[in-house]
Amino acid sequence: MTMTMDVKHCIIELEKTALDRWCRGDPSGFLEISAADVVYFDPFLPTRLNGWRELSHYYESIRGKIFALHHEMIAPLVQEIGDAAILTFQFISSGDDHAAELRWNCTEVYRRQTEGWRIAQTHWSFTSQGTQEE
């Protein structure tokens, strides 16, 4: 039970740390914890990215261009399946107090590897309220 709680805490903290860097324009937080075989979906791409090299190429193209002053992880849930951990959460980000909020769904599948937990699958999308202004 203690180990299970630790895994959940660990996974959520890994994600929050990478998100903090992401929201300051730094994609390296995610690249450092993404596996060689990571696959990736987001709503700006026409197809899936396959592997760390493709993800890195994409992230380098937007390095320094994304900033969110305010961001919040909503209702994170971790489901453990052996050496896999499925993290699902919603995410709200906005540029400043007056900017439109973006509302996201996210699924990360982490895999326990010898070097630590690594992301094997990332899926970002907009909720039904994704780009509504409030």
Residues that bind its own copies (CB under 8 A): 37, 39, 41, 43-48, 50, 75, 77, 79, 81-84, 86, 88, 90, 103, 105, 107, 109, 111, 120-121, 123, 125-130
Q: Facing residues of 34 across strands?
A: 119
Which CB sits closer to its own copies, 81 or 98?
81
Q: Which is nearer to its own copies, 96 or 114 (CB)?
A: 114
Would you say 47 or 114 has its CB closer to its own copies?
47
Find out whether 120 and 49 touch, Cβ atoms under 8 Å: no
Q: Looking at beta carbons only, is 4 or 79 nearer to its own copies?
A: 79
Residue 57 Cβ vs its own copies, minimum distance, rounded to whole Å: 17
Rounded to a whole number of angstroms, the minimum distance from the CB of residue 131 to its own copies is 11
Question: What is the Cα–Cα distance from 16 to 13, expressed in whole angstroms?
Answer: 5
DSSP of 17-78, one letter per residue?
HHHHHHTTT-THHHHHTEEEEEEEE-TT-SS-EESHHHHHHHHHHTTTT---SEEEEEEEEE
